[in-house]
């Protein structure tokens, strides 16, 4: 039995997983942000509540970056674990083996093992949620990359200066990573809202923009046209470089099938390989992908 966790800046979700990767939720509790002792105590209490036997593994999907060489976690959302070797330090306190991975990596691992990527050798998972992120699985294992930063297609000055039909000028929106013209600053939910404001001088939440687009509203159609144009080109470049045969999309916008289908068409028009089947698809595991991915992470580590 494995105890798995999906940990974000507000909530710790816990579950137990069997050897088939199936999970049974335990509980969710607030994330202690400033006190590492309290953080470890919360994890320990949930392990005990789940009833995992002594010495069994703990697997964690977490927001932030995990350096695969040092084990050091960079996590601004949870200051008490930032710059710690979480696997080693938490493992010593729990007296259990602990494995830790980024939540986007866990998402794509879950999709590769039991979701839309099942049966595919190279799976790239794209996150279109509050921001833009991603991860990659090759031959059933997460490709972590140097520093743990593989799959971050949302960052770097890659966004086009003009987008849409007819083309319209796109500002150099600043990104939280310190660069400009990142796909993270113009794609997904917050980027869609920023783009709509630029095009139409109207502040609307992404949910309202999507609803208006699905109803055929012209301003929303213009926003979606530009957003798809901006997102599709860098995602097509990812396909040409790493060669995935499927791209499951998670995050809030992954739950809008018509939008994902439109991105898929645009991406397939821009890649070198010709495909007559969908490449960019909605994620199938929409329930608890972080917990499922953490379970598969531990199962893979034990193999």
pLDDT (tens digit, 9 = 90+) per residue, 60-94? Answer: 999 889 999 999 999 989 999 999 999 999 999 99
Q: Are 56 and 138 contained in the same domain?
A: no
Per the CB < 8 A criterion, the answer to whether 291 and 60 are in contact is no
Q: Is 0.85 surpassed by the pTM of this model?
A: yes
Q: How many domains does the chain have?
A: 2
Looking at residue 52, the DSSP 8-state letter turns out to be: P
CA 204 to chain centre: 24
- 11 and 144 in a single domain? The answer is no
User: What does the pLDDT read at residue 301?
Assistant: 67
**Beta strand extents in 44-96 (DSSP E only):** 58-62, 65-66, 72-74, 84-85
- What CATH number did the domain enclosing 256 receive? 3.30.420.40
Q: How far apart are CA 232 and CA 226, in angstroms?
A: 10
Assess if residue 113 is contained within a domain. no
Same domain, 122 and 223: yes
Above 90 in pLDDT, residue 166? yes
The 3-state secondary structure of 238-296 reads HHHHHCCCEEEEECHHHHCHHHHHHHHHHHHCCCCCCCCCCCEEECCCCCCHHHHHHHH
Instruction: Tell me if 112 is assigned to some domain.
Output: no
Could you read off the pLDDT of 99-120 as tens digits, one per residue?
A: 999 999 999 999 999 999 999 9
Position 176 pLDDT exceeds 90: no
Give the domain extent around 80. 2-106+287-302
**161 and 238 belong to one structural domain:** yes
259 and 169 in a single domain? The answer is yes
Query: Tell me: the pLDDT tens digits for 197-210?
Result: 999 999 999 999 99
């Amino acid at each position: 039995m494995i105890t798995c966790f999906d940990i974000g800046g507000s909530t710790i979700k816990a579950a137990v997983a069997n050897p088939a990767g199936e999970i049974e939720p335990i509980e969710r509790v607030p994330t202690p942000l400033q006190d590492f002792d309290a953080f470890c105590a919360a994890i320990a209490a949930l392990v005990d509540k789940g009833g995992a036997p002594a010495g069994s593994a703990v697997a964690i999907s977490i927001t932030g970056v995990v350096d695969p060489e040092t084990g050091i976690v960079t996590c601004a959302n949870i200051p008490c674990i930032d710059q710690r070797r979480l696997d080693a330090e938490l493992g010593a306190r729990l007296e259990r083996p602990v494995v830790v991975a980024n939540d986007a990596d866990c998402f794509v691992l879950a999709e590769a093992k039991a979701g839309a990527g099942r049966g595919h050798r190279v799976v790239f998972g794209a996150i279109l949620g509050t921001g833009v992120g991603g991860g990659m699985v090759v031959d059933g294992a997460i490709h972590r990359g140097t520093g743990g930063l593989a799959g971050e297609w949302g960052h770097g000055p890659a966004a086009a200066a003009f987008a849409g039909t007819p083309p319209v000028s796109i500002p150099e929106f600043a990104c939280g990573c310190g660069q400009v013209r990142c796909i993270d600053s113009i794609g997904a939910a917050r980027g869609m809202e920023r783009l709509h404001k630029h095009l139409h001088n109207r502040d609307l939440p992404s949910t309202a923009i999507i609803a208006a687009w699905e109803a055929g509203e012209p301003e929303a159609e213009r926003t979606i046209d530009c957003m798809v144009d901006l997102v599709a080109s860098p995602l097509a470049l990812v396909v040409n470089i790493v060669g995935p045969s499927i791209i499951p999309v998670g995050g809030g916008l992954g739950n809008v099938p018509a939008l994902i289908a439109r991105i898929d068409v645009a991406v397939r028009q821009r890649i070198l390989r010709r495909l007559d089947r969908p490449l960019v698809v909605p994620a199938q595991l929409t329930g608890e992908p972080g917990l499922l991915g953490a379970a598969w992470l531990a199962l893979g580590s034990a193999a």
